[in-house]
Chain A
Amino acid sequence: MPRLVRSIWILTGVHLVAGMVAYVHFLVTGSYRLLGWYFTIFGSLFFLIMAAAECSLAFVCRSWFESDEPMRLAWSMIAFAALARLAGTGIRELADGRLNWGPNQWLLPHVGGWFASQSQFGMVIGGPLSMAFLAAGLGRVLSVQRKFRLSGSLTRGDKALLILIVAFSLSQLAINVPLLRQHTSPGTSLLWLSDPLLALLLIEAVLVRRSVLRIGQGLLARCWGSFVVAIVTTSLGDASIWANNRNLLPDSLIALSWYIWFVAAAAFTCAPAYQLEAMSATSSLRQLEVR
Chain B
Amino acid sequence: MKFLPRLNLGFWKRAQSGVSAEPILLGQASVSGLDELSKRLSRWGSLWSAENEAEDNSTAQALVTERLTVWLERSFGEHLPASLYGDGDAISLSSSIPILTAFLGRRATRELSRSVLQDI
Residues of chain A having any CB pair with chain B under 8 Å: 64-66, 69-72, 144, 147-150, 212, 214-221, 278-285, 287-291
Contact A216 B79 (CB under 8 A): yes
Residue of B nearest to A288 (CB): B67
- Count contacts on B: residues with CB < 8 A to the other chain: 34
Residues of chain B with a CB closer than 8 A to A217's CB: 77-78
Cα of A278 to Cα of B98 in the assembled complex, Å: 16
Contact (Cβ within 8 A) A148 B111? no
CA distance A281 to B75 in the complex (A): 10
Shortest beta-carbon distance, A121 to chain B, in Å?
35
Question: Is the CB–CB distance between B77 and A218 below 8 Å?
Answer: yes
B83 within 8 A of A: yes
A282 pairs with B109, CB closer than 8 A: yes
Beyond A212-B77, A285-B115, 18 additional pairs, beta carbon < 8 A: A64-B108, A65-B105, A66-B106, A69-B102, A70-B102, A71-B102, A148-B98, A148-B102, A216-B77, A217-B77, A218-B77, A220-B76, A220-B103, A278-B103, A282-B108, A285-B118, A287-B71, A288-B71
Complex interface residues of chain B between 84 and 120 (CB less than 8 A to chain A): 98-99, 101-109, 111-112, 114-116, 118-119
Q: Cα distance A240–B13 when bound, in Å?
A: 79
Known: A282-B109, A282-B115, A288-B116. A218 touches B73 (CB 8 A): yes
B74 near A290 with CB under 8 A, answer no
Q: In the complex, which residue of chain B has the Cβ closest to the Cβ of A223?
A: B103
- Interfacial chain A residues near B71, Cβ < 8 Å: 282, 287-288
Are A149 and B77 also in contact (CB < 8 A) when A69-B101, A279-B108, A282-B109 are? Answer: no
- Count of A-B contacts judged by CB separation below 8 Å: 101
Q: Is the CB of A291 within 8 A of B70?
A: yes
**Helix, strand, loop or mixed for chain A's interface?**
helix
Closest-CB distance, B60 to chain A (whole angstroms): 14
Contact call B104/A283, Cβ cutoff below 8 A: no
Contacting residues, chain A, for B80 (C-beta < 8 A): 215
Q: Is the CB of A278 within 8 A of B104?
A: yes
Contacts of A283 in B (CB 8 A): 111-112, 114-115
B112 touches A282 (CB 8 A): yes
**Known contacts A69-B101, A215-B76, A148 near B81 by CB under 8 Å:** yes
On whether the beta carbons of A71 and B103 are closer than 8 Å, the reply is yes
Contacts of A71 in B (CB 8 A): 102-103, 105
State how many angstroms separate the Cβ of A218 from the closest Cβ of chain B: 4
* Distance between Cα atoms of A217 and B76 in the complex (Å): 7
Which residues of the other chain, A, contact B106 by a CB distance below 8 angstroms? Answer: 65-66, 69
Which 5 residue pairs spanning A and B have beta carbons closest together? A216-B77, A282-B112, A218-B77, A215-B77, A283-B111
Which residues from B are CB-within-8-Å of A278? 74-75, 103-104, 108
CB distance from A258 to the nearest CB of B (A): 34
Neighbouring B residues of A150 by C-beta, 8 Å: 81, 83
How many Å lie between the Cα of A281 and that of B112 in the bound state?
A: 8
Known: A66-B105, A282-B111, A283-B111. A215 touches B70 (CB 8 A): no
Contact A216:B73 (CB < 8 A) given known A282-B109, A283-B111, A283-B115 = yes
Partner of A215, one of B66, B74, B79: B79
- Considering only CB atoms, which chain B residue lies closest to A286 in the complex? B115
For the complex, what is the distance from the CA of A144 to the CA of B98, rounded to whole Å? 11
